[in-house]
Amino acid sequence: MTMIKVYNNNDHDFQEKYKGQMIVIKAHEYFEMDYEEAVDFIGKAVPIIRMKNGLPDPRSLKRLKITEEDKAKGRAVATGDKTSDQEKVFVCMGCSKEFRTKNGLLKHIKDKHQSQMIDEEARDELLDNEDLD
């Protein structure tokens, strides 16, 4: 179960009964819940309460969001994508050689392909990186 944060972007606390549980999210804070439940919770429509002048009461607005990072994490779990940083493959664009780490790829580029680099600023940055020696 992947827990993600549901943020309340409203200046007022938000509360709603969801699956028999009262969920209260303070203003500009978050509540952690499972990704699929969070998507369902955010998408569930709630009635807008109107003030005497006919305008919507800001306390009744459902201004909740999930960060892009949490969305990506939740989608990866939902689709079964188990790719982690350790399982990623970094490919050299010069010769198509594959590396398990970004650092390994950068060392290879520094040793084999620095003369092919067109971007002088990127080349200088690569050459100045002492971690790649």
pLDDT of residue 27: 93
pLDDT at 82 over 60: no
Rounded to whole angstroms, the Cα distance separating 17 from 78 reads 25
Mean pLDDT for all residues in the chain: 85
**The pTM of the whole model exceeds 0.95:** no
Rounded to whole angstroms, the Cα distance separating 65 from 4 reads 11
- What's the mean pLDDT in 63-83? 79
SS3 sequence of the chain: CCEEEEEECCCCCEEEEECCEEEEECCCCEEEEEHHHHHHHHHCCCCCCECCCCCECHHHCCCEEECHHHHHHHHHHHHCCCCCHHHCCEECCCCCCEECCHHHHHHHHHHHHHHHCCCHHHHHHHHHCHHHC
- What's the mean pLDDT in 79-94? 69
> How many C-beta atoms surround the C-beta of residue 122 within 10 A?
12
Rounded to a whole number of angstroms, the CA Rg of the chain reads 24
pLDDT of residue 104: 87
pLDDT of residue 133: 66
Give the neighbor-by-neighbor strand order of the sheet with 64-66.
Answer: 30-34, 3-8, 64-66
Residue 83's pLDDT band (cuts 50, 70, 90) = low
Question: Tell me: the pLDDT tens digits for 28-44?
Answer: 999 999 888 988 999 88
Question: Tell me: the pLDDT tens digits for 108-124?
Answer: 988 898 888 888 888 88
Side chain identity at residue 63, one-letter code: R
Domain locations in the chain? 3-79, 85-132
pLDDT at 86 over 50: no
Q: Residue 26: name the closest of 45, 11, 47, 4 by CA.
A: 11
